[in-house]
Amino acid sequence: MSADTTPTSSPPSSAATPAPHRLSAAAWALRIQFFVSGALFATWGVHVPTVKAHYGLGEQSLALAMLASGVGALLALTQAGRVVARFGPRGVAGVTGVLCATGVSLLIVPSAYLGLVLLLALFGATASLFDVAINAEASEIEHLAARPLMSGFHAMFSLGGMVGAGVGSLLPLLGWAPQTHLLLACGTGVALIVGACAAMLKMRTEAGEKQPLSLPRGVLALIGTLAALGLIAEGAMYDWSVLFMKQERASDASVSALGYASFSLAMALGRFGGDWVRARVAPVPLMVASGLLAAAGMATALLVPVAEAGLLGFALVGLGLSNVVPVLFSAASKMPGVSAAHGIAAVSSLGYLGMMAGPPLIGMIAEHSSLTAGLSCVVFFALIMATSANRALGVTQRRPAAGAPAGAAN
What is the pLDDT at residue 204?
55
Among 190, 208, 226, give the residue marking a domain's end: 208
Q: Is the pLDDT of residue 342 over 60?
A: no
Same domain for 188 and 273?
Answer: no
CB proximity list for 109: less than 8 A, separation 6 or greater: 115, 179
Strands (E), 230-360: none
Among 136-140, 268-272, 298-302, 362-366, name the most confident range.
Answer: 298-302
Classify burial at 162, counting beta carbons within 10 Å of its beta carbon; exposed 0-12, middle 13-18, buried 19 or more. Answer: buried
Q: Is the pLDDT of residue 255 over 80?
A: yes
Same domain for 160 and 269?
Answer: no
Number of domains within the chain: 2
Q: pLDDT grade, residue 33 (50/70/90)?
A: very high
Q: pLDDT grade, residue 361 (50/70/90)?
A: confident
pLDDT tens-place string over residues 94-147: 999 999 999 999 998 888 999 999 999 999 899 888 887 887 787 778 778 777
Task: Classify residue 89 as left (phi > 0), alpha (psi -120 to 50) or beta.
Answer: alpha
Q: Does residue 136 or residue 397 have the better pLDDT?
A: 136
Same domain for 217 and 332?
Answer: yes
pLDDT tens-place string over residues 61-86: 888 888 888 788 777 766 776 777 78
Whole-number average pLDDT of the chain: 82
Domain with 101 in it? 20-208
Other Cβ atoms within 10 Å of 395 Cβ, number: 15
- List the single range of 12-21, 230-239, 256-265 with lowest mean pLDDT: 12-21
Q: How far is CA 259 from CA 16, 118, 168, 301, 369, in A?
A: 45, 28, 11, 10, 22
Q: What is the CATH number of the domain that holds 329?
A: 1.20.1250.20
Strand, coil or helix: 119? helix
CA 198, distance to chain mean position in Å, is 24
Task: Classify residue 337 as left (phi > 0), alpha (psi -120 to 50) or beta.
Answer: left
Establish if 125 belongs to a structural domain.
yes
CB 382 within 8 A of CB 295: yes
In this prediction, residues 288-304 reach a mean pLDDT of 96
pTM of the model: 0.71
Q: pLDDT grade, residue 15 (50/70/90)?
A: very low
Among 140-144, 220-224, 376-380, name the most confident range.
Answer: 376-380
Residue 347 amino acid letter: V
10 — phi, psi (to 5°)?
-60, 140
- In 18-149, alpha helices (H): 20-46, 48-55, 59-105, 113-145
Query: Of 268, 306, 363, nearest to 58 (Cα)?
Result: 363
Same domain for 302 and 189?
Answer: no
pLDDT tens-place string over residues 34-58: 999 999 988 988 888 889 889 988 8
